[in-house]
Chains A and B, each alone.
Chain A
Amino acid sequence: MLAKRIIPCLDVRNGKVVKGVNFEGVKDVGDPVELAIQYNKQGADELVFYDITASYEGRGVMLDVVRRTAQQVFVPLCVGGGIATVDDFRDTLRAGADKVSVNSQAVKNPKLISDAAEIFGSQCVVVGIDAKRNDKGGYSVFINGGRVDMNLDLGDWVKEIQERGAGEICLNSIDTDGVRGGFDIEMLKFVCDRVSIPVIASGGCGTIEHFSEVFEQTDSSAALAASLFHFGELTVGEVKDYLKKKNIAVR
């Protein structure tokens, strides 16, 4: 059976890796290619590069970073941030990415999901979602790095994403992101109950126990974390050893 995946996420701005707390107060911490090589050695199952500024400043994705990483790292690479067209998908895949993640632009233009899935295959289309609890007891989808409320219901959106042929959903909870109190179990359950495509848990991981918690309590296929790994608090290897002890299948 499939192993649960541990995915370090590298938020990239101007060719450097950054990590914000609740998307504010960004600080620089390193070279993305170097970090990618480190994570690969630690046993990362996949790597995500996310251009955090591109979605609202119109910057292109870091194709050169992707190209250099693909020459030295032999696990799947996913790239997101600023992807708006089928041509962006093509350029990113040609640079060596295996998957492309689309977020804000998919909300504005859902046809992008179906077009990309048809041309490049579902396996390379990942839809990232930033969602937050609303005052009606549900969840709302936000865009532009969690800044803009689209008044779009999360349940409706994930069903549409699946129908349009996306291969995966990467669910980031704005409520838990950067706070390090654990993944948003409730929100993840809500989404896993509504789709059959794999769901990647993102946002909120702060301790090693949070990884076992998300796999024991939800049907998430993968867990994504950023700061925890690249400030060196935990290695991917330590997380996987821990999960093995908990009888969770990992590579």
Chain B
Amino acid sequence: MIAIIDYGAGNLFSVKNALDYLGLENKITKDADDLRKADRLILPGVGAFADAMRMLNESGLVDVIREEVQKKPLLGICLGMQMLFEKGYEFGETDGLGLIKGCVKLMEPEGSLAIPHIGWNKLEKNEPCSLLDKCGDGEYVYFVHSYAAECDSKNVAAYCDYGMKVPALVFEGNVFGAQFHPEKSGETGLNILRCFAAL
């Protein structure tokens, strides 16, 4: 079972719809026991870093997540990916989960590119990562964000180019994070979710 962590932020149903469509057993939950029973975790998120971290802390699930990622894969999506890092700088400095080294800052693309970065952009593969086993170099995925991770290239499975190199898919051991929305990225996104379920 894949536990979709419900801490009060984000559109959980589009993730659930995608997993249901793929025939992958899943549950939207805020129950620590479900997280322990699950064989995989998904941390979604839409909104602002500080707010979402506050809600996640209040949910009491942070310690459980930290324990469980020692044993099972976790996929953070969009803001859920950003929260995997040590710090976020949206509305002041906020501690993240610290599961991957690095921080999250407002994007500063070259040229006069608009922020937020919204739309279909190309994945450019970097370090090998099993989530991209079914994905060719240059496939498009769907992004909606204004902040981006700054981290070591060794943790980046794929970048995308938006007037700067944006870490699009990151990983460290069992922990994976997609800055884009795999549940809104057509067949490419569904394939990434299939790979996550097959880990």
Residues of A at the B interface (CB closer than 8 Å) are: 1-3, 5, 40, 43, 45, 70-72, 74-76, 93-94, 96, 98, 121-123, 167-168, 196-198, 221, 251
Contact = CB atoms under 8 A, between A and B. Distances in A.
B128 interface: no
Contacts of B20: 71
Contacts of A1: 121-122, 161-162
Contacts of A75: 142, 184-186
Interface string B110-144: 00101011111110000000000000000010101
Contact of B46 (A70, A72, A121, A168): A121
A234 to B, nearest CB: 19
Contacts of B114: 196-198
Given A71-B20, A198-B114, A5 B119 contact: yes
B184 A198 contact: no
A72 B21 contact: yes
A123 B114 CA distance: 12
B3 to A, nearest CB: 20
Chain B interface residue number, banded: 20 to 34
A36 to B, nearest CB: 13
Nearest to A2: B119
Nearest to B187: A74
Nearest to B47: A121
B57 interface: no
Given A121-B46, A197-B114, A70 B119 contact: no
B59 interface: no
Contacts of B18: 74
Q: Which 4 A-B pairs have the closest CB atoms?
A: A251-B140, A2-B119, A3-B120, A123-B144
